[in-house]
Structure 1
Amino acid sequence: MSKDLPQPQQSEEVDLGQLFKLIGNAFSNLFRFIGSIFNKLFLAFVWLVFFVKKHAVKLAIAGVVGIVLGIVLEKTSEPVYKSSITVKQNYETGENLYNTISYYKDLIKQEDISTLKSVLGVKEEEAASILNFEIEPLISENEKLQEFDTYLKTLDTSLTKTVDYKTFLKNSKEHNHQYQQITIKAKERNNFKTVFRKIIASIDSNTYFKREQEKDLRELKEQASAISKALVKSDTLLAVYQKAIVKSAENNNDSQAQITIANKGNQSSTKEFELYNKDLELRQELVEIEREIANKEHIIEITSSKQDSGTIDDKKELFGNMISPKLYYAIILVGLTFITLLCLRIVNFLERYKDKI
């Protein structure tokens, strides 16, 4: 019976050996699979290089034709003029502003010139010349990071770990950003200042925002009034302390005029000094409130304008970048030529298997 005891141990060693062998084979197969993928990618790259080399002349001709086409269209097409303004939203007017621009765009799409003329307050020929309205936020990546940092500070500590930067950007709305750029494109060089003012006026006349503005201004002015009254009392009290100090100095009895309180680090300060610091704090707070009042005077305001009468817009958008028409059509024709040649090559390759089907 004792001779049979080692047998299970030998069986376990055999099983472990087979297990390690299976693991080794699995890794070998995995590495071979990854290697085959890289090999196929390399072969595809080499094939693509030779394919482009073979058809380089055709692609070059397509590029030249695209440049010539861009020049011709640039010379013969009707010019498009654009003008833009930057606005600052002092209230949460973004959604309303975007809806207004969307409404104008729908009127243009429907060719409802009479309604567009009426809402913009312009002549019919000026309304008919407008091709499009655009609006986009003006914000840099650094400002987005600052907004994200500010947003995290408003959350509970346990929630900050569940929110990342990409999720924040995905959930943020473009109309929530304070600065927005509004652009008008038209067929004629008109003065767009009237149109821009009409857009701003449509937001300023909103009943809800006007009511919010009135409440904010009333509250801020009450705060400013309270601080101003406190400053008057502070100045009066400060004058009393100064008179007391002068009087005590004349009597060589400074100890009776000063009220000393202990601070950390065995430092001390007089009541006069404390009152002076408090006075500075109140004045700084008053300046901030007055600045806020100045901001709240306008629901939305124009901070800058570019070319009220419009400048020629001859750029084309490709993959999010604005480029010249010559380069645009050159890239388009080269791309179409490449795709066509590639499709013909694939069809010829499939023709070889036609008889086998």
Structure 2
Amino acid sequence: MSENIQNTPPPTEKSTEVDLGDLFRMIGRAMNRFFAFLRNTFLFILDLIIKALIIVRVHIIKFVIVGILSVAIGWFLDSRQPIVYGSNMTVQTNFGSARQLYSNIKYYNGLVQQGDTMKLKDLFGINDEQAGNLRGIFIEPKVSEIDMLKAYDKFMKETDSINVYDKMDFEKFKKSVDPLTFGTHEIGVASGKKNVFKLLQEKLISINVENEYIQKQKAIKLKNLIAEEEALKKRLSTIDTLRGVYNEAIKSEARKTSQAQTQIQMSSSTVKTSELELFSLDEKISARLLQIAEQKEFQQKTINVLSDFSDGAKIKNFYESNLFRIPILTLSILLVFILLRELNKYLNTYAENKRLNA
């Protein structure tokens, strides 16, 4: 056994050197192919750009003429379009009324698209001209990134499942969350007249908004707030009574003889500590009462208006205008036509060369 071990030749480094050499050569070939691919791609793109510039140079007059005519036609068509004004208002929904509000707005917009001026006039109390000039009624959630982050943070704190933590990141949460769960929304109205927006404001947030479910939610919420308010006021009255008792205790202790001076100091210290605790509790209850008063005030209405409709401004979107769309469309058609004609010439030349070489 020992003789076999001694006769075994020592391992050489030649095979390792050969393997490293092959590895470096493979890496070199791969890098060469990669750079060759980049070079060919760049040359191909450059060739396409040069050919496109040649086509434009040859047909530049056609492009200029078609472009000028398209701009003129687009401007003419836009000038014939009626002016449309738009205005927005921001609202805050209470008691889960957002779904009902969205349903109502969708219905109103359907009446506008159908041209049902009689129904619109009866609903909003406007005249025939104002109803006939309505172009659309829209609504969308007004949710900022901060609101979404707060909602995500609250969702993650209320979720105990590990699977949710692994699968639900912020971007997925934004896509899956229902925007109607947020309280702030923006209502927009488009009209051919500027004098209609203020007339619609109150009607949009009051007509058929309080269904039976919302009415129950509103009654229960207000009832609970009133009950909590009465209970807190009773606690404040009890605190005032206890504070009076502690004050009497301090006065009573102060009238005792000097032989019990130590006990008086200890008793006074205890009374003062209890009075400080009562004072802190008094402050907390008072702060909560202020919150309840604020909630009662803001939740008297099912929908609160955070910002009113303005007088309206012209709705302009250059990218949706004929002045933008028509030139883009006509120039694109001209370019496709020229490219097809150039392709046809190339195919004819190729076929002719093929026939001559046959």
Q: Please report the TM-score for the alignment, with normalisation by the length of structure 1.
A: 0.77
Q: Which residue in 1 is equivalent to 2:218? A: 213
Contact 1:204 1:210 in 2 (8 A): no
User: Does 1:281 find its partner at 2:284?
Assistant: yes
What are the equivalent positions in structure 2 for 1:320-331 lying under 5 Å apart?
Answer: 328-331=321-324
Aligned equivalent of 1:239, options 220, 237, 244: 244
Aligned to 1:78, the other structure's residue is in SS state coil
Q: Output one character per residue of 1:290-337: Cα deviation in whole Å (capped at 9) or x when no partner.
A: 222223212112222123xx4352412638xxxxxxxx4443344235
Report the structure, 1 or 2, having the larger helix content. Answer: 2
Q: Which residue in 1 is equivalent to 2:355? A: none
Q: Which residue in 2 is equivalent to 1:89? A: 93
Aligned counterparts of 1:248 and 1:4: Cα–Cα separation in 2: 106
CA 1:11/1:273 → structure 2, altered by over 3 Å: closer, same or farther?
Answer: closer
Aligned counterparts of 1:45 and 1:116: Cα–Cα separation in 2: 56
Q: Which residue in 2 is equivalent to 1:256? A: 267
Q: Which residue in 2 is equivalent to 1:263? A: none
CA 1:85/1:156 → structure 2, altered by over 3 Å: closer, same or farther?
Answer: same
Q: Which residue in 1 is equivalent to 2:274? A: 271
What are the equivalent positions in structure 2 for 1:36-51 lying under 5 Å apart?
Answer: 36-44=40-48
Give the CA deviation at 1:341.
Answer: 4.0
What are the equivalent positions in structure 2 for 1:306-325 lying under 5 Å apart?
Answer: 306-307=309-310, 310-316=311-317, 318=319
Report the structure, 1 or 2, having the larger strand content. Answer: 1
User: Does 1:292 find its partner at 2:310?
Assistant: no
Where structure 1 has 5 or more consecutive residues not aligned to the other structure, the ranges are 261-268, 320-327
What's the RMSD between the two structures over aligned residues? 3.8
Give the CA deviation at 1:283.
Answer: 1.3
Give the CA deviation at 1:178.
Answer: 1.9
What are the equivalent positions in structure 2 for 1:1-357 lying under 5 Å apart?
Answer: 21-22=25-26, 24-44=28-48, 72=76, 76-156=80-160, 158=162, 159-249=164-254, 251=256, 253-259=264-270, 270-307=273-310, 310-316=311-317, 318=319, 328-355=321-348, 356=350
Aligned counterparts of 2:66 and 2:316: Cα–Cα separation in 1: 20
CA 1:181/1:317 → structure 2, altered by over 3 Å: closer, same or farther?
Answer: farther
Where structure 2 has 5 or more consecutive residues not aligned to the other structure, the ranges are 352-358
Q: Percent identity?
A: 27
Question: 1:143 is matched by which residue type in structure 2?
Answer: D
Give the CA deviation at 1:215.
Answer: 0.8
**Larger Rg belongs to:** 2
Question: 1:349 is matched by which residue type in structure 2?
Answer: E
CA 1:97/1:344 → structure 2, altered by over 3 Å: closer, same or farther?
Answer: same
Q: Which residue in 2 is equivalent to 1:264? A: none
Q: Output one character per residue of 1:15-74: Cα deviation in whole Å (capped at 9) or x when no partner.
A: 886566555534543443344334434554566667667777776777766666666556
Aligned to 2:196, the other structure's residue is in SS state coil
Aligned length: 339
CA 1:90/1:192 → structure 2, altered by over 3 Å: closer, same or farther?
Answer: same
